[in-house]
Each structure stands twice: as structure tokens, then as C-alpha cells.
Amino acid sequence: MTFTPPVAQCSSQIRSVNQINNIGLGLMVVDVIVLAAGLGSRMLSEMPKVLHCIGQAPLIAHVISAVAPLTPRCVIAVVGHGAAAVVKTVSALHADATCIEQGDMLGTGHAVAQALPALPPAVDGAMSKVLVLFGDTPLVRSETLQRMIDSPAAVTVLGFEAVDPTGYGRLIEEDGSLVAIVEHRDAGPAERAVTLCNSGVMCVEAATLRSLVPQIGTDNAKGEYYVTDIVALARKAEQSCAVIRCAEEETLGVNDRAGLATAEAAFQTRKRAEILSAGVTLTAPETVHLALDTVIGPDSVVGPFVVFGPGVTVENGAEILPFSHLEGCHVSQGARIGPHARLRPGAEIGAGARIGNFVEVKEAQIAQGAKINHLSYVGDAQIGEDANIGAGAITCNYDGVMKHRTEIGARAFIGSNSALVAPVRIGDDAMVGSGSVITRDVEAGALAIARGAQTNKPGLARRLMERLRAIKAARR
């Protein structure tokens, strides 16, 4: 099976000025190769490892998000296990990405070799570099990758000072240059004392990458092609090699469920700090869970134990009260959500609107100043400005086969425990009496009452209770 689109998909022409980085040394063209073919057997999952999620997004989504600010000319994902699913995800994340299938898993050097034919040609007058990243290393920062691109070396490796370097390849430097990568099992006592370790992430001049990858051999314990052998080959060819350092957290690779949980915790800590620095109040930051794409405006306040799913934007000055869950929704300026509210995909909450406790909103537009304060479900609906939805009122949007819409006009008042059976329209300034089941449109300004007439039976309650107690006593 082949998933390789035409190379033209990456385009041999630079599509915009923004896709060329000017680093003071001339024009710089950046291409990206993401290695995403691994099985991830330690995950004990049929799902490809790079599709497991942190921050409500696949691991590979974090990597593609990190390279987006670099405006790369071309993104190539090398896929293997579960290729169809990975291709579908990558295509959704980056419409212009190219996916190449690595049929035989022969190592990272072999994976890069599969991607080389899809790299577009050089651009006259521009330096071209290639970032080689891993789809299961989700925490690398855009700023770190930019520093790698800015390095003048032909080969730049991302390194980190490890708290415990056991098992990592050591980066050996002399006079500020990288001279070797020594695997832990091959390291002597002096080399094992080095704590500068190899992340595997690399930035290589495109011409160097093209010339050296075919020279990578399999003289190692696993008999695989390792892309890190490029360092030794570059030194042999008298080409410069360097190390760019980053925090150890950025290099965290996810190999099992414990690693996934560690990455999730690290992501949440980073994202919370980002939200706080943007002028948002988190009253109990450690309890708030955020998604990769969560956007919250300044002067908003988020209470404890709030969960943001994917696709949430909260505008300035909104308040999200405790134990609320938001996903695929937009909350406008000054709106108040919760506590214990659930906003599902398609919920559009207008400025100053109120969505209260145990209220669920789905595929509904709630206009400015509208209030849904208690125990209600509003789905497939449009609620007008300053309308009030009483406690326990619901829109009955599903007939067992299809969904139908409810429209409620501006300043309408819907009494408690009413059921609006869609499709139905309640006009501006209309009222619905409590406990009504509304099946027909209500014109503007009208009062609708749809319930049985109340009948009182004097003394009947007392007689019924006496009878029931007698029955209960007889059964003892």
C-alpha cells in the first residue's frame, strides 16, 4: 500500500514569503520529516502510538503544532504501523503534508531514507535545512526548533542534561563542537560520566542529509540503520556538528502508558503556565485540565475542576465556574458558565449570557444576555437576546431518527419543567407556562399553556395514605 501523494504537493516553489526564514545569513528554507512509523508495542494497544493523546490531541498533533510557527515549506510524515489511521490524522492536521509508508521497519535512518525522494529541490540563493522529529516526542518547543535552524552547523543535534543519563546516548563535545554520539552500552567510565544526552531530534542541511543518509550502515547490535550515525559520517567528511541544549522535559518520548501519563502532566503544567501568563485567573490551576488548542482571553476566571476538551475558545472577561466541561464551543465576553455546566460541540454562548448549574447545551446559539440557569437541556436550538429558560425546561430535539431545531425569540420566558417539542418556534416576548408541553408555534407576545386542568379531591390524599399504610402493615 502506498500513501505517497505527488511530490508537487510539497511544491518546488516557495508558496509565500513567510515560508522562508531570514536568519541573517541569507534565505533559509525549512522542511520537516516526522518519524511516525513505530508500533509502540509497550503501549499494549492496537492504536498506533502517535495517535494516543495528551491534551486532548494525538501526540503527532503536538509535533505538527510545534513546527507550524516555523512555516516549513514541506512536512513529510513517515508512517508504518496503522498507516491508514495515521495518514487520516496527519491530513486533518496539515492539509499539505505528504505521507510516506515505511514498509520494512529497519530503523530511523531507513525511515529518513524513505522520505528523501519527497523533499522538494533546493531553491536558488537559499540555504535549505531539514528538521528530523519524532511523532511520539510531543513536548519539544517551537523556540527550541528555531534555535536548531539558526545553528550554523551542517548537523545540529538536540541535547539535554539528564538527571539520570542511564541508557541514553552521550553527546561528546570538544571546543564547542559535537565530535561523537556514544551509546550507553559502548561508553567507557569517562563517557558515562557525561550527562549531556542525545534526544534524537536533528536539524541537517538538506544537501548533507541527502549525501550522508545513503552511507548509513547497520554495524550495530540490532542491525538497523540509525539516523544519528550522520554525526560520525559528517565528522569524517569534515562537516561541522553542534549541539543545541533544551530542558529534559522537551525530549520526553512516550513509550508506554506511564510515559503517556507523565507527558500529560508535563503538558498540563506548561499549558496552565501559558494561560496564566496571558492574564487568565485559574483559582486552582492544578485541577484545571486544558487541551492543546484551548484559547482563553484575559480577565477570564476559571474555577476548580474545569475540563476543556478540544476546540474551545473563551473570550475576555468570561467566568467558568467549578466542575464544568467544555468542548467544541465558543464563550463570548462576560458570559458566565456553571457550576456543573456542560457545553458540547456547536454551543455558541453570547456576551453576558448565563449557563447555570447542571445545564447542557449542544449545537445551540445562545444570544447576548440570555439565561439558562438550572437543570435544563438545550440542543439544536437558537435562543434570542435576554430570553429566560426556566429550571428543568428542555428542547425535545430528537424524534428517534432525526434532529429538529427549536427557535426561541428575544425576551421570551419559558416556564420551569416545560418541554418544547421540535420543530417549534417561540416568538419574541412570548411566554410558556410552567409544566407545558409545546408542540405548536407560539406567536410573538403570546402566552402558551399546554397542560391538563388541575383538579383537587378533598380528603382523598389522607384516605389513600391510610389505605397504603394498612396494606404495608398487613404484609409484615
Among 177, 153, 174, 145, smallest CA distance to 70 is for 145
Options 184, 340, 374, 404, the catalytic residue: 374
Among 447, 442, 387, smallest CA distance to 420 is for 442
Catalytic, 374? Answer yes
CA dist 265 and 330 (Å) reads: 26
Among 328, 351, 356, smallest CA distance to 341 is for 356
Strands (E), 59-153: 74-79, 98-101, 126-134
Q: Spell out the residues 6+ positions from residue 286 whose beta carbon is closer than 8 angstroms to its own.
A: 272
CB of 414 closer than 8 Å to CB of 393: yes
Residue 423: cis peptide before it, omega within 30 degrees of 0? yes
Amino acid letter, 406: T
Q: How many CB atoms lie within 10 A of CB 472?
A: 9
The radius of gyration of the chain from alpha carbons, rounded to an integer in Å, stands at 30
* Grid cell for residue 414: 419559558
CB of 342 closer than 8 Å to CB of 355: no
Residue numbers annotated as active site: 374
